[in-house]
A = this chain, B = another copy of it.
């Protein structure tokens, strides 16, 4: 059907994109699609042609199209779903990290409805990392709360919160009754707390995270580690949060600051 191995440095894509000699095919295809998506050719949420259709259009093998789609997917422009198709990604959600970051207010600020799903709530023994963050000895009792955060029903965060059980008597009960962490802490006597330190990294998501956050496997998650202290400086919480890019991006804004 086609000429053999195809000396790839000449000729044209059957469609509009010329085969520039210096650039690989999949990059050219990715760039073409990127422009079409950016140029209102496809609105957010719209479905792209299938891989077979695209490979026919650009007159390349399906794998080459897949390479281009993977690139766009990693960049966050599209979302690929097995058995369904590929879709243009939705808008991003700024996550403003400050001394007083609260989930509910974050989502409300974006005119969306916050909700949450508790995945775990139980007592565990502190490992070395948790102990160091909370300033307690390894093995001490720690309350773990794992929560999936949603904005208008779509997942935007996956957070694990660790509370020092001995310091905060009754925190497990309080967490069971109060969906909001701020309320639960208030119930055990912590009127106010501020974020002391936040650490940000990016990495590939785990399978579980992909599932819960409903994100593509090949997009990075932003990972934050933060320590919250009360007004007296006592550590009341250590939390690790995962956020799907590019649905969420992190904005940091230092405020008046305590200590």
* Assembled-state Cα–Cα distance A222/B199 (Å): 12
Q: Are A195 and B71 in contact (CB under 8 A)?
A: no
In this complex, the member of A197, A202, A203, A246 whose beta carbon has the largest number of chain B beta carbons within 10 angstroms is A202
Complex copy number for this chain: 2
Residue numbers in B under 8 Å from A99 (CB-CB) = 254
Residue numbers in B under 8 Å from A257 (CB-CB) = 254-257
Q: How far is the CB of A7 from chain B (nearest CB, A)?
A: 21
Residue A249 lies at the interface, judged by CB distance under 8 Å to chain B: yes
Can you offer 28 A-B residue contacts whose CB atoms are under 8 A? A71-B204, A74-B220, A75-B204, A98-B254, A99-B254, A195-B254, A197-B252, A197-B253, A198-B251, A198-B252, A198-B253, A198-B254, A199-B250, A199-B251, A199-B252, A200-B222, A200-B249, A200-B250, A200-B251, A200-B252, A201-B246, A201-B249, A202-B202, A203-B245, A252-B252, A256-B257, A256-B259, A257-B257
Q: Which residue of B lies closest to A256 (CB)?
A: B257
Residue numbers in B under 8 Å from A76 (CB-CB) = 203
Residue A104 lies at the interface, judged by CB distance under 8 Å to chain B: no
Q: Are A196 and B249 in contact (CB under 8 A)?
A: no
Given the known interface contacts A202-B202, A222-B202, the answer about A197 and B254 at a Cβ–Cβ threshold of 8 Å is yes
Encode A236-258 as 1/0 by CB contact (under 8 A) with B. Answer: 00000000011001111111110
Q: Are B250 and A204 in contact (CB under 8 A)?
A: no
* Assembled-state Cα–Cα distance A182/B187 (Å): 47
* Assembled-state Cα–Cα distance A255/B203 (Å): 26
* Assembled-state Cα–Cα distance A203/B77 (Å): 10
Residues of A near any B CB (own CB < 8 A): 71, 74-76, 94, 97-99, 195-204, 218, 220, 222, 245-246, 249-257, 259
Q: Are A200 and B197 in contact (CB under 8 A)?
A: no
* Assembled-state Cα–Cα distance A99/B256 (Å): 11
Given the known interface contacts A204-B71, A257-B257, the answer about A97 and B252 at a Cβ–Cβ threshold of 8 Å is yes
In this complex, the member of A98, A99, A220 whose beta carbon has the largest number of chain B beta carbons within 10 angstroms is A220
Residue numbers in B under 8 Å from A200 (CB-CB) = 200, 222, 249-252
Q: Which residue of B lies closest to A94 (CB)?
A: B199
Q: Are B74 and A204 in contact (CB under 8 A)?
A: yes
Please give me the 7 A-B residue pairs with the lowest Cβ-Cβ distance, nearest first: A257-B257, A202-B202, A198-B252, A201-B249, A199-B251, A200-B250, A75-B204
